[in-house]
Structures are given as C-alpha cells and as structure tokens.
Amino acid sequence: MNRRSWAERGGALLLGLAAFLLVVGPAPLDPTNIAWLSEADAATNYLGWAFFRASPWGWPPAANPSYGLDIAGSVMMADANPLMALPFKLLGPILPTPFQYFGWWLLLCFLLQGLFAHAIARKLTPHVEQRLAIALLFLFTPFFLIRIATPAVFHMTLVGQWQILAALFLYLSPDLRRRALWWAALLAVAVLTHPYLLALVAAIWLADIFRALIAAREAPRTILLGAVLGPAAAFAVARLSGVFWLQGAGIDTANAGTMSVEWGFAIYKANLLTAIDPGGWSLFLPDIATKPEQIEGFAYLGLGVLLLAVAAVAAGGRLRPKLRLDRQHWPLAIILAGCALFSLSNHVEMGGHMLSLPWPAPLVGIGNMFRSTGRFVWPVAYVVMLIIMWGVAKGWRRPFASSLLAVAALVQIIDSSAGWSAYAETFARRGAAWPTGLQSRFWDEAKGRYRAIGLIVPRNHAPFYRDLNMWALDQGMGSGITYLARYDRGALDRLTQLRAHQFTSGSLPRDTLWITDGVPADRLAGMRRTSGDFVGTVDGIPLFAPGFAARPAR
C-alpha cells in the first residue's frame, strides 16, 4: 500500500471526524459528561452500563444481574453495547465516576462509516475526488444519522451501520487475502454490538458464500473454511461472552420462545415510499404522510443521492452494455429482496394505503422476534446507493461525474441539516449528573437502609425507573425496576406470581424498598406490619419502606 493510498484513507477519516464534529460536536467526548444521556433510551443505555460496571464479574461475563435482578439480562439487553462495555469494565477501577463511552462510540462509527464507504468507493471508481465525495454522501445518509437520536429516543448502538458497509466491502473483495478471517472477525464484532446488525451482516455473509460457490474461483477447502469459520466465531463469542443471557432463562434459552418482545411487529416497519420520504430530513422536499412508528424503516436516501439517481438514469444509454447481473450475484439479489419484503412486514403500506398479505407462521414468528423489521431495509438502501453512484461514475466522463458527485454531496449535507441540526441542543449538554425528581429528604434518610429496590407488581419500563435507578446506583443497591429491550417472559410471569404470594402473605423481603405502583389503594394500609413501616407517596412515587423508622442505616 503506497503513501497515496494511506493519504486517501486519512482523508476519508478526516471527513468522518468533520462530519462528527458538525453533527454531534465535541461535548459527548468528555467521558464524565452524562448530561446528554438523561432522556429516553439513552438513560437505560447508560444505567445498564453503570450497573454492569459496578457489579463484580460473574458468569457469563456480559451478565448484568444487578440491573433487573429477577428479570435481568446481559448488558446487551439494556442496549449498552457489549463491544464497548466489556473492555471498559476491565478498566473500571482506573476510570472516573461517572464514566460513559457512548460519545466515543459515536465518533468511532463516523470514522468507520467514512472509511468503509471510501473502501467500497475504490471498487466503483479509480478517481480520488469521486471516492471522497462518495464517502461524504454515506456520512450524511439520513437513515444513518437519524440513528444517533431519533425523535425523543436514542438508538446509538445502531449507528454502527459501518458493519453493513464492511460486509458489503468484503463481498466486493473476492480476492482479499484471509477473507474468511475477516468475515469471522466482523461477525464476532456484530455479535457484541447488536442483534439486528448481526442479522444483516450474516445475510450478506451468506450471500458471499453462495457467490463463491457459483463463481467457483476459490478452492472448495477455502469456501468450506469461510462457511464454517464465520458461524463458529459468532457462536463462540456469543457463548463465551453471554451477550444473549437472560436471568431465569439461562444462557441457552434466549430465543423467540422465552424472550419477550411485547409488541412492534408490523408496526415498526418500512413504507414502500421510504427511499423518497424525507420524514423531516429535507429542507426542500415535502414529507409523505406515513405513520410515526415507521421511523424504524426510515431509509430516505437524501436529496443529493436522489439527484444522482436522475443523472444515472440519464446515462442509461452508456450504461446499458454494463447492466447485466452476473449469475454469481443472484444470491445477494435474492437475499436483498427478502430483506426488503421482511422490512415491509405482512401489512404492506404505500404512503397511507395498506395491503395485508398472508404470511407463513414461521416467518411471523421471526418477525415477532425481531419486532422492528423496518431495519432490514438498510442493506437494500445502501446497495441502491452504490448502484446509483456506480452509474454516475461509469456513465459520465470524469470531469462531469466528479462535479455531479461533489455537488450532490454538498446538496446532501445542506438538505439533511433539516434533521441533524436539531441535535445540537441535545449533544451540547454538559454535566456529571442528571436532573432528578427525588427531592424529598426521605431519600437521604433511606440511604444505607436497603439492599435493593423493587416493584410489587413487576413490569418492564416503569415511568419512574430513571431517577430511582440512579439513586439505587449511588447507594450500591440492586434494582428490579428496569427498562430492558428484551427479558425472559417466563421469568417475569414467575416473578409476578411470587410477588403476589408474598404480598398477600405479608412475606415481602424487608431488605428491599418496594414501589407499590399497581397495588390497589384499599390494600396499601394492610402492608404496614410494624410501627416502623412506612407506606405512602414520596415525590409522586408510591412506596412501602419496611422498618424505615426503626431500621438504622448501614
């Protein structure tokens, strides 16, 4: 690799850094700054990591039993990104408190999004300026940027869409040395990041295996190695890390039969018009009337890419001799078509019009497991973008094609600012603490008195979970009040029955501060067993504090 190649890659990394600073800004890079993580999903992401860090190592390593207790899961179940959480827990003793790695994860994603987009661009065009313009277009792809902070909800782990680009790069690099090892490494990284990214990377890996079989350019032993090594690496990493572990279910039972999804299938999907629906991400194009929940299937390509699509179509005459899908790429086309159909669900919508289609029961089961099937549109959208950019690079002479790509990149940045400029206020927040509604002196007096906090009527995502968990974390307590992406339904059902029995028999553990939300009002007075018990509402939170008046602080 010559100096020019390294300089070009450095340019792609600089574009990623510039995009990060423009969209996110530097404030989240302060590891002690948690103020920007205080809302919605970001709060449980941070709390999941903080409880994980504070807990002693156990088996499996990714287990996070203090956050959820009887319905706890691995650190992944709080979407806290095991890829970052596991190594930083090792460094926990030397890290400051508080500490967050989410800002650095976002920076890493921007850098790798630009780097892998540039690597793919090298397959499309030999011209440096075109490659860098293509990298810039991918950095300002709306469905990439929206994952940083969707309206009121953070999905920061899913900003790791560079893994999809890395998979496409490997697919487009059949002559790359040690490809089997690279695929194994990528699948292992995806396992530690997010189940959706694993599914999408695995889909492209599968297409690559079939491509190799059809092309028959590699030795059968090499193809077999790739077919075995990738899944083996993914399985080994999942097994040894325990990222799919659920309390009450065990490491081997995190599947559709035990893992609760609650709801979302056929709701969090893609719309047929998603590629051209700005959804608030265009200064110039009007939005198409769709349901807010379809944000999970948001795949607006951006005005710059849409303009390039027009230019690619205009070059159709020159491209026609090259427009032939080689047989070796049929598996990828079939898999992408499957991803597109799956993203639409069995209730297909075009704008506001819906058509319900029958689906086989096994496919519905898979849909229920993934819930947000709209995310399966991402690799389809990325491949469409690549085809458009290939069409421009190959269909026009270099000066004109380079100008088109540069102008399109500029238009893409300006047009998409309708969406990402709104992030500035959120990401500019600074502070080492969160605002809290726990203002009563009760909370100071309760310090050191209890081992854990819990719900008498168990459920996931109680409205007051954030403040209570931050208080419990500061006291070194375990918490049964959580907001988890997945948990074991059987464990929750058993816990509900146990709590009901303990409540009616007066045998609730007295080393726990109980939240009585959901307990009938006429049953509350009967909970007081001794003169020291407290039953009441503090800062709007109904609770039962066993022995509060008599129990000395630890």
Whether residue 174 is predicted with pLDDT greater than 60 in this model: the reply is: yes
Give the pTM: 0.94
Residue-wise pLDDT tens digits, 32-82: 999 999 988 899 999 999 999 999 999 999 999 999 999 999 999 999 999
Q: What is the pLDDT of residue 256?
A: 37
Query: DSSP of 144-202, one letter per residue?
Result: HHTTTSBTTB--GGGG-THHHHHHHHHHT-TT-TTHHHHHHHHHHHHHTT-HHHHHHHH
What range defines the domain where residue 510 resides? 442-545
Place of tokens 């027009």: 310
Same-domain status, 408 and 460: no
Same-domain status, 202 and 336: yes
Q: What is the pLDDT of residue 497?
A: 94
Nearest Cα to Cα of residue 143 among 473, 474, 381 = 381
Q: Tell me the CB-side half-sphere exposure of residue 150, using CA atoms within 13 A.
A: 21
Do the domain assignments include residue 79? no
Q: What is the pLDDT of residue 257?
A: 42
Whether residue 471 is predicted with pLDDT greater than 60 in this model: the reply is: yes
Same-domain status, 261 and 337: yes
Whether residue 463 is predicted with pLDDT greater than 90 in this model: the reply is: no
CA distance 276 to 391: 19
Q: Report percent pLDDT > 90 for the chain.
A: 75
How many domains does one find in the chain?
Answer: 2
Do the domain assignments include residue 15? yes
Residue-wise pLDDT tens digits, 304-331: 999 999 999 999 878 887 778 889 999 9
Q: How far is CA 28 from CA 108, 113, 425, in A?
A: 12, 19, 12
Place of tokens 């931050």: 470
Do the domain assignments include residue 55? no
Whether residue 114 is predicted with pLDDT greater than 50 in this model: the reply is: yes
Whether residue 388 is predicted with pLDDT greater than 50 in this model: the reply is: yes
Q: What is the pLDDT of residue 347?
A: 87
Same-domain status, 350 and 451: no
Per mean pLDDT, which range of 172-181, 279-288, 294-303 is the poorest? 172-181
Same-domain status, 265 and 343: yes
- What residue type is 194 in one-letter code? H
Do the domain assignments include residue 434? no
Same-domain status, 380 and 481: no
Same-domain status, 302 and 377: yes
Residue 365 near residue 255 (C-beta atoms within 8 A): no
Query: DSSP of 222-245, one letter per residue?
Result: HHHHHHHHHHHHHHHHHHHHTTT-
Do the domain assignments include residue 431? no
CB contact set of 474 (below 8 Å; sequence gap of 6+): none
Whether residue 543 is predicted with pLDDT greater than 50 in this model: the reply is: yes
Do the domain assignments include residue 429? no
Same-domain status, 21 and 126: yes
Q: What is the pLDDT of residue 261?
A: 53
The number of residues in the chain equals: 554
Average pLDDT score over the chain: 91
| Cα dihedral: 37, 43, 44, 46 (round 10) | 40
Residue-wise pLDDT tens digits, 330-344: 999 999 999 999 999
- What residue type is 271 in one-letter code? N
Do the domain assignments include residue 167? yes
Do the domain assignments include residue 76? no
Buried b (16+ CB within 10 A) or exposed e, 158-179: bbbbbbbbbbbbbbebeeeeeb
Same-domain status, 254 and 307: yes
Residue 56 near residue 120 (C-beta atoms within 8 A): no
CA distance 249 to 237: 19
Q: What is the pLDDT of residue 251?
A: 42
Same-domain status, 379 and 473: no
Q: Crossing angle of helices 465-475/40-54, nearest 10°?
A: 20
CA distance 106 to 36: 13
Same-domain status, 128 and 10: yes
Nearest Cα to Cα of residue 43 among 435, 423, 425 = 435
Residue-wise pLDDT tens digits, 10-28: 999 999 999 999 999 999 9
CA distance 286 to 298: 15
Q: What is the pLDDT of residue 254?
A: 41
Place of tokens 């097994």: 239
Q: What is the pLDDT of residue 551?
A: 58
Same-domain status, 214 and 159: yes
Residue-wise pLDDT tens digits, 228-266: 999 999 999 999 999 999 887 544 444 434 555 555 577
